[in-house]
Amino acid sequence: MGSYSKVVLIGLISVFLVFGCASHEISKLNSDKIKTITGWHLCLTDEMAIFEKALDSEESGKTKSKKSVLLQCDVKLRDDIAFYLTTKHKINLVEELKPTIGLIRAGAECRWEQYVTLNITISDWEHNRLAEIEVKNGEDVMVKDDEKFAEYCADVIAELILSQ
């Protein structure tokens, strides 16, 4: 019986090492409003900050390069999440904000070349917060790689949107 327990324990540890571990927490949920949204615009927090600053300042007539602010890895994470949302979950992602479109705004925190958290704010087109999600990557050997983390984040977002 002792060797069987060791085999099971080694198997479980191997599964955790291969797949990693992540968790999420949803707060401030307004499911009634989420039900009315027909499409979603996905952006990084830094992208939206550039856009809002341009609208609110004298720089509104100027175009500013996003390359100076956005990290390549963050753009890839956003694109990977968009890929999973559209292909795996069939969520309608759009470029333009209008009354029936919601906003998914994501801000990533990276440490030691691994994503630690992704803070997601889901809003209506007027920027009224409908939900907030904090996705945490695993710790130490339980960390998901960037692609698996992006897929997990997309799954969490889709679960929230589609379950309404």
Q: What is the pLDDT of residues 87-129, one digit of tens each?
A: 999 999 998 888 899 999 998 887 667 788 889 999 998 889 9
- Is position 6 within any domain? no
Task: Give φ, ψ of 115 to 5 degrees.
Answer: -75, 130
Q: Of 11 and 108, which is predicted with more confidence?
A: 108
Domain that holds residue 36: 22-162
Does residue 99 sit within a domain? yes
Domain count for the chain: 1
* Residue 134 falls inside a structural domain: yes
Q: Are 155 and 140 in contact (CB under 8 A)?
A: no
Q: How far apart are CA 97 and CA 115, in angstroms?
A: 28
Phi, psi dihedral angles at 93 (to 5 degrees): -100, 135
* Domain presence at residue 128: yes
Report the CATH number that the domain containing residue 141 is assigned in CATH.
Answer: 3.40.50
| Helices and strands counted in the chain (H then E) | 5, 5
Query: Is 13 among the domain residues?
Result: no
Is 12 among the domain residues? no
Examine residue 9 and state whether it is found in any structural domain, yes or no: no
Closest by Cα among 103, 94, 86, 92 to 150: 86
Residue 153 to residue 150: CA distance in whole angstroms? 5
Contact (CB, 8 A) for 109 and 44: no
In sequence order, what are the beta bridge partners of 134?
A: 25, 119
Q: Classify residue 94 by its DSSP letter.
A: -
Q: What is the pTM of this model?
A: 0.72
Q: Mention every residue, 6+ apart, whose C-beta is less than 8 A from residue 136.
A: 22, 23, 24, 116, 117
The string of pLDDT tens digits covering residues 32-45 is 888 899 999 998 87
**Is residue 45 in some structural domain?**
yes
